[in-house]
DNA sequence: CTGAAAGCGCTTACAG
DNA sequence: CTGAAAGCGCTTACAG
C-alpha cells in the first residue's frame, strides 16, 4: 500500500537507529538527545528519562565514526609499549584494558620494540586518528616527539617511571630505588662481589644499574668489572650464557643481580646444568617476579613490580584527564617489593 | 589586508589539509582526489600525478573518521584471542600487526579469556565500529554469534584451526593430528603407559586429546585413567602439581604428554625437585615450543606450532578479502613439527 | 534548559 | 574518465 513513488536513490544508511530516530521517538530535538546521552549540562530529568526510554526501545548505539568526525575525538586510547613478549607489559596492558573497556574506550596497542624511531612513527599514525587518550612507556623520547604529544592536546599518561614535571602525568615506581634495594638486600645477606647482569639496556634497565652502583658505592665495593651489559634481547638462553661467562671471567663473584627474571631463570637452569650450588656458591636475584620464578630450583629472589596496579591507575588517571577533570596527584609512585626466596 | 568582515563563527576545522584543499591545489574535483588516493578505477595517470604532488605539497593525510562515516567501514581490524598471557597468542598477534600496520590498518585486540560470552560482548562492541576486518580464534561459538559475524558482512578469518566450510576462511593446522603425532612419537620410542595431562580444556586442547586417544587406540593401549584434565588455567605451578599427582596416582606411567609447554616445564622442574629422572624413569613432552623449553633440564620435547606464520597468512588472506579479491585457498593448513629434545 | 542551523571530511550513487 | 550533489550521523557554536 505504498502509494509514494519508488525512491530514485538507494539509501546509504546502515539500517541502525540514529540519533534522529531517538529524538523523534522521544519527542525532543537531536541535540537534546546528544546532550542527554553524554551527560552534558543539566538536561531536564524528565527529558533524560524519555530519551533513555527511546534509546532502549530502539536499541540505539551511537556511531563512533560520526562522533569522532563531529567532535574531532575518537573513543580510542593508544597504548605504546616496548614489547609484547615481556610478561611485564602484558600484565600492564591487561589491567589497562580491564579499566578502559567498560568505560567505552577501545585500546590501540602499539609495539615499539624499544626503538624511538618506531615509536615516533606509531605515535604519528595514532595521532592522526585523534585518540581520546594516550599511554606511553617511560620518558625516553626526543624533544620533537615530546612536542608532538604536547601539541596534539591529547591527554597522555606515562607509565613505569615517574617524574616531577609540570603538565606531565606519570604512574610507576623508582627503578633506581628498586635496583638499589635489591643490591642492598644482597649486601645485607653477606655478599660482597655482586655482579650486575643486564640485557636490552633500555632506559629503565640503566636506572636499575644506577641504583646498583649507588648501593655498591655506599658499601665501598664498586668495581666496574662486575657489570655485564649485553644489548641483546632478554631471554632464558641469554641468561644462561651470561651466567657461564661471569663464572668463567670472574670466579670470585658471589652474587649476580639480573635485571630481568627471564635472565635469572636461565641462569638458575645453567647453574643446575653446571652443578653450581645456588645460593651456597653464588646467590642469584632477578627483577619483576615473572611467571615461573617461584617454581625455579631454588625459587628465585626478585623484585616484585606493581605493573597491574600501574595499568589500572594509569587508566583511571587518563579517564579523569579525558573527562577534563583535574588530577590532584599527577605523579603516582606505586613502589615495589623485595621478594626473598631460596636463591639468595 | 583582509578587507572581509571577521567571520561570525569560529571554524571547527582541525587545521589539517583536507581533500578539498588537495583538490584545489591539483585543480581537480574532490572526487577525483578521493579516487586517485584509493586507487579506484582508472583515473587519468596525469591527474593521479598532479594529485600526488598536491598531497605531498600539503602533507595531506586522510581523516579516518570521515572515511569511516562516509563509507561505513573503518580502517580497524579487530583481533580476538583467548589470552595475552600465553606466548602463543603474542607471537600470533605480533605477526598480524607486522603485516597489517604497513598496509594502513589499525589492530584492535580483544581478549576473551576463553569465555564465549565475553567474546560475544567484544564482538558486538567491535562490530559497532564497523571494522574493515576480523580475525577470530577457532570455531567455538554459538550459532547466534556465527550469524552475527556473517550478517555483519565484515570479512573474517579464523585462526589456529582449519575447517572446510563454504564462505569460511581459516588458517591453522590440525590440532588432533598434532596430538596424535606426539603420542605416536612417544609410542615409537617405546613408551606404553602414556598419560595425557591438560589444563584450560579449551576446544583445541580437547582436539589434541582426541589425537592422543586415536594413537593410543590404534596401539591398543587406551586407558581413560591415563587422562588428567584440569579446567584451571595453564601455568608452571599447575604443571608441577599435575606431575606430582600423576606420579602418586599412577606410578606405572612412563610418559606424560602435556597439552602446553608451560605445564611441561613446571613438570620438569618438579621432577628435578623430586629427583625423578627424565627421561629414564619417565618421558615428558609438551606442546607449542614456547620460550625456555629448549633451556630446560633436560630440554623439552614438544610440538612446534607455526603461530607466526599463521598470523602472517591470516593477515594476508584478510587483506585480500578486504580488497574484495577472491581467495583461492580459503583453508590453509600450515602443519606442525615434532621437536625431539632430551626429555623423551 | 532547549533548539535550528551549520559543519566535521570524506564517499556513494547518478549522470554524462 | 570526471564531476555536482547529497549524504554518512553525529557535535559545535550561537541564540534564546
Q: What is the pLDDT of residue A9?
A: 44
**Whether pLDDT at A325 is above 90:** no
- The lowest-confidence range among A17-26, B107-116, B161-170, B253-262 is A17-26
- Cβ–Cβ gap A295/B262 under 8 Å: no
Strand D contact with A258 (CB < 7 A)? no
Residue B220 C-alpha, separation from nearest chain A C-alpha, in angstroms: 37
In angstroms, the CA A173 to CA A180 distance is 13
Q: Are residue B218 and residue B97 in the same domain, yes or no?
A: no
Residue A196 C-alpha, separation from nearest chain B C-alpha, in angstroms: 22
pLDDT tens-place string over residues B59-118: 888 888 898 888 888 889 999 999 998 999 999 999 999 999 888 888 999 999 999 999
Q: Is residue A11 part of a domain?
A: no
Strand C contact with A42 (CB < 7 A)? yes
Q: What is the pLDDT of residue A12?
A: 59
In angstroms, the CA B262 to CA B89 distance is 14
Q: What is the CATH number of the domain that holds A32?
A: 1.10.260.40
**DSSP annotation string for A107-171:** EEEEE-TT-HHHHHHHHHHHHHT--SEEEEESS---HHHHHHHHHHT--EEEEES----TT-EEE
Strand D contact nucleotides, protein CB < 7 Å: 1-15
Cβ distance B202 to B234 under 8 Å? no
Residue B208 C-alpha, separation from nearest chain A C-alpha, in angstroms: 25
Q: Are residue B179 and residue B296 in the same domain, yes or no?
A: yes
Strand C contact with B34 (CB < 7 A)? yes
Q: Is residue B2 part of a domain?
A: no
Q: Does B108 touch chain A (CB under 8 A)?
A: yes
Nearest chain B alpha carbon to A296: B269
Q: Are residue B186 and residue B278 in the same domain, yes or no?
A: yes
Q: Does A262 touch chain B (CB under 8 A)?
A: yes
Give the whole-number percent of chain A exceeding pLDDT 70: 95
Task: Provide mean pLDDT across the span B122-151.
Answer: 90
Q: What is the CATH number of the domain that holds B299?
A: 3.40.50.2300
pLDDT tens-place string over residues B211-251: 999 999 999 999 999 999 999 999 999 999 999 999 999 99
- The lowest-confidence range among B58-67, B173-182, B312-321 is B58-67
Q: Does A127 touch chain B (CB under 8 A)?
A: no
Instruction: For residue A304, give the C-alpha cell.
Output: 616484585
Chain B residues in contact with A343 by the CB 8 A cut-off are none
Q: What is the pLDDT of residue B2?
A: 35
Query: Would strands A133-137 and A156-160 be described as parallel, antiparallel, or unpaired?
Result: parallel
Look at chain B and report how many structural domains it folds into.
3
Task: Provide mean pLDDT across the span B13-40.
Answer: 84
Beta partners for residue A196, in sequence order: A227, A257
Chain A residues in contact with B65 by the CB 8 A cut-off are 65, 68-69, 74, 129-130
**Whether pLDDT at A5 is above 50:** no
Q: What is the pLDDT of residue B17?
A: 85
In angstroms, the CA B198 to CA B234 distance is 8
Q: Is residue A253 part of a domain?
A: yes
Give the whole-number percent of chain A exceeding pLDDT 90: 68
What is the torsion angle, in degrees rounded to the nearest 10, for the CA atoms of residue B311, residue A126, residue A118 and residue A306? -80
The answer for A 67-106 residues in CB contact with B (under 8 A) is 68-69, 72, 74, 84-85, 87, 90-91, 93-94, 97, 101, 106
**Whether pLDDT at B3 is above 70:** no
Q: Are residue B271 and residue B203 in the same domain, yes or no?
A: yes
Task: Provide mean pLDDT across the span B299-319.
Answer: 97
Residue B293 C-alpha, separation from nearest chain A C-alpha, in angstroms: 9
Nearest chain B alpha carbon to A152: B14
The residue among B300 and A32 whose pLDDT is bigger is B300
Task: Provide mean pLDDT across the span A303-320.
Answer: 97
- Cβ–Cβ gap B68/A72 under 8 Å: no
Q: What is the pLDDT of residue B41?
A: 64
Cβ distance A259 to A198 under 8 Å? yes
- Confidence category of residue B262, pLDDT binned at 50, 70, 90: very high
Domain boundary among B62, B93, B113: B62
Question: Going by C-beta distance under 8 Å and a sequence separation of 6 or more, which residues neighbour residue A197?
Answer: A228, A230, A239, A242, A243, A246, A256, A257, A258, A259, A263, A267
Strand C contact with A47 (CB < 7 A)? yes
Q: Are residue B160 and residue B90 in the same domain, yes or no?
A: yes
Beta partners for residue A288, in sequence order: A304
Nearest chain A alpha carbon to B73: A65
In angstroms, the CA B3 to CA B1 distance is 6
- Confidence category of residue A14, pLDDT binned at 50, 70, 90: low
Question: Going by C-beta distance under 8 Å and a sequence separation of 6 or more, which residues neighbour residue B192?
Answer: B221, B254
Q: Is residue B8 part of a domain?
A: no
- Confidence category of residue B284, pLDDT binned at 50, 70, 90: very high
- The lowest-confidence range among A15-19, A246-250, B153-157 is A15-19
CA of B132 to C1' of C16 (A): 32
Considering only CA atoms, which of B176, B220, B212, B178 is closest in space to residue B195? Answer: B212
Q: Is residue A77 part of a domain?
A: yes
Indicate the SS3 state at residue A331: strand
In angstroms, the CA A222 to CA A211 distance is 12
Which of A16, A64, A122 is the best substitution to test chain B (most B C-beta atoms within 10 A)?
A: A64
Q: Are residue A183 and residue A298 in the same domain, yes or no?
A: yes
Domain range enclosing A263:
175-304
Query: Would strands A302-304 and A337-339 be described as parallel, antiparallel, or unpaired?
Result: antiparallel
Q: Are residue B100 and residue B190 in the same domain, yes or no?
A: no
Q: Are residue B274 and residue B329 in the same domain, yes or no?
A: no
Q: Exposed, middle or buried by CB within 10 Å (0-12, 13-18, 19+), for B277? A: exposed
A30: the nucleotide nearest its CA (via C1') is: C3
- Confidence category of residue A4, pLDDT binned at 50, 70, 90: very low
Q: Is residue A228 part of a domain?
A: yes
Q: Are residue A192 and residue A225 in the same domain, yes or no?
A: yes
Q: Are residue B157 and residue B200 in the same domain, yes or no?
A: no
Give the whole-number percent of chain B exceeding pLDDT 70: 95
Nearest to B272 among A262, A266, A272 (CB): A272
Q: Is residue B47 part of a domain?
A: yes
pLDDT tens-place string over residues A276-297: 999 999 999 999 999 999 999 9
Q: Are residue B30 and residue B131 in the same domain, yes or no?
A: no
Q: Are residue B238 and residue B201 in the same domain, yes or no?
A: yes
Cβ distance B132 to B105 under 8 Å? yes
Indicate the SS3 state at residue A199: strand
Q: Is residue A187 part of a domain?
A: yes
Task: Report which listed range, A63-67, A268-272, B56-60, is most confident.
Answer: A268-272
Domain boundary among A7, A40, A62: A62
- The lowest-confidence range among A31-45, B148-162, B273-287 is A31-45
Strand D contact with A63 (CB < 7 A)? yes
Amino acid at each position: 500500500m505504498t502509494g509514494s513513488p519508488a525512491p530514485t536513490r538507494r539509501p546509504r544508511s546502515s539500517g541502525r537507529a540514529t540519533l534522529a530516530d531517538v529524538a523523534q521517538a522521544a519527542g525532543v530535538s537531536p541535540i537534546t538527545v546528544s546532550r542527554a546521552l553524554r551527560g552534558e549540562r543539566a538536561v531536564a530529568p524528565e527529558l533524560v528519562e524519555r530519551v533513555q526510554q527511546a534509546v532502549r526501545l530502539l536499541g540505539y548505539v551511537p556511531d563512533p565514526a560520526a562522533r569522532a568526525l563531529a567532535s574531532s575525538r575518537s573513543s580510542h586510547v593508544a597504548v605504546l609499549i616496548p614489547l609484547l613478549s615481556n610478561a611485564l607489559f602484558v600484565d600492564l596492558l591487561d589491567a589497562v584494558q580491564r579499566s578502559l573497556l567498560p568505560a567505552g574506550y577501545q585500546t590501540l596497542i602499539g609495539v615499539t620494540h624499544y626503538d624511538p624511531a618506531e615509536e615516533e612513527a606509531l605515535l604519528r599514525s595514532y595521532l592522526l586518528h585523534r585518540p581520546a587518550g594516550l599511554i606511553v612507556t617511560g620518558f625516553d623520547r626526543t624533544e620533537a616527539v615530546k612536542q608532538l604529544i604536547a601539541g596534539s592536546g591529547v591527554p597522555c599518561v606515562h607509565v613505569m617511571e615517574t617524574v616531577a614535571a609540570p603538565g606531565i602525568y606519570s604512574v610507576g615506581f623508582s627503578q633506581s630505588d628498586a635496583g638499589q634495594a635489591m643490591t642492598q638486600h644482597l649486601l645485607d645477606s653477606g655478599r660482597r662481589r655482586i655482579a650486575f647482569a643486564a640485557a636490552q639496556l633500555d632506559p629503565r634497565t640503566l636506572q636499575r644499574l644506577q641504583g646498583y652502583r649507588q648501593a655498591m658505592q655506599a658499601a665501598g665495593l664498586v668495581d666496574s668489572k662486575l657489570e655485564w651489559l649485553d644489548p641483546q634481547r632478554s631471554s632464558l638462553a641469554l641468561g644462561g650464557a651470561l651466567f657461564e661467562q661471569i663464572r668463567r671471567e670472574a670466579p670470585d663473584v658471589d652474587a649476580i643481580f639480573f635485571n630481568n627474571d627471564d635472565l635469572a631463570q636461565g641462569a638458575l637452569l645453567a647453574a643446575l646444568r653446571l652443578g653450581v650450588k645456588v645460593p651456597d656458591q653464588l646467590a642469584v636475584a632477578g627483577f619483576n617476579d615473572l611467571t615461573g620464578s617461584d617454581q625455579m630450583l631454588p625459587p628465585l629472589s626478585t623484585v616484585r613490580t606493581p605493573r597491574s596496579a600501574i595499568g589500572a591507575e594509569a587508566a583511571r588517571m587518563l579517564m579523569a584527564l579525558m573527562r577534563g577533570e583535574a588530577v590532584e596527584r599527577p605523579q603516582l609512585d606505586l613502589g615495589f617489593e623485595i621478594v626473598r626466596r631460596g636463591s639468595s
